[in-house]
Amino acid sequence: MGAMTASPGRRVLLAAPRGYCAGVDRAVIAVEKALEQYGAPVYVRHEIVHNKYVVQTLEKKGAVFVERTEEVPEGNIVMFSAHGVAPVVHEEAERGRLATIDATCPLVTKVHKEAVRFANDDYDILLIGHEGHEEVIGTSGEAPDHIQLVDGPDDAANVEVRDPSKVVWLSQTTLSVDETMETVDALKDKFPQLISPPSDDICYATQNRQLAVKQMGAEADLVIVVGSRNSSNSKRLVEVAKQAGARDAYLVDFAAEIDAAWLDGVTTVGVTSGASVPDVLVEEVLEWLSQRGFEDVEIVKAAEESIIFSLPKELRRDLRDEAASLVAERGGSGTAGTAGAAGTAGTSGAAGTPGE
């Protein structure tokens, strides 16, 4: 469809904040920094973040994405994704004589530590999340004998615990806030002494992006969420938009996936993106809409974000030499990946702590 004449009635509500959160930014920069320091290949266990464009871009730079640690040849570098991994994965890397970089989001790491602490105190831990999601798998692996998954409020009826006075809930960080609290309420009906975690598990970025969508959803006829279909937080934004009053809401990876028929009878389009989406993809959507008469863009600001996370500490070491040493000292015969610009990181990029 060609360009259309702009109409005063056509407008775009653009969510703020949107796109990259601090944990995603940290993880993506970590892959780029590792490739710059050590050269390709740098293996990444699972997608570093759930976004098709980001993964494809990093692959072109020399990142190799694998689903199992055993797929990485010994003597190489493997990075763990922002979603986190179970302790057994670290053990697999050690057995495979691999140097590791842990790019787990610090907010996910916080949940892992809570799980370990409550397990050590012999609590039953009810982990609210979606079965099969990498973050849930990683957290569950911290204390498999103490953790059981609760996949939504309807699943609460199936939960059994050893001692109703020693039960706590934790949560996957990328869920819908409303759905999580609905599940918590269902669990509290069954276990009145249910303990809440010491701090909110749902990450600040997830909450802020959902809040912005709630604010614009009541005004938008259509909401377009930019994000991949395996991104939990992106899919939640679609659900939140519909619950907030949007007539329709769709998830797209790229502007080319938008169906022009979605604009029939639409005067207000809301646009946002998941926490693993670079803003270049949102700009393409805005350009696509502009060519169809939606040139008036209004910002819907729900919160300010200033949190920055330090890069993984492993990027300050020479991991190529470390990987080669692991092979040599254990008598292995594997060949490390081609070394690039080896050396230590003089700077670790963005610095900060979750509390900033």
Give me the active site residues, please: 135
204-217 vs 232-243: helix crossing angle, rounded to 10: 30
Rounded to whole angstroms, the Cα distance separating 129 from 143 reads 16
- How many residues belong to the chain? 356
Q: For residue 148, what are the β-bridge partners?
A: 126
For residue 41, is the peptide bond before it cis, meaning its omega torsion is within 30 degrees of 0?
A: yes
CA atoms within 13 A on the CB side of 192: 0
For residue 198, is the peptide bond before it cis, meaning its omega torsion is within 30 degrees of 0?
A: no
296-301: strand order across its sheet: 248-252, 222-226, 268-273, 11-16, 296-301
Rounded to whole angstroms, the Cα distance separating 19 from 28 reads 13
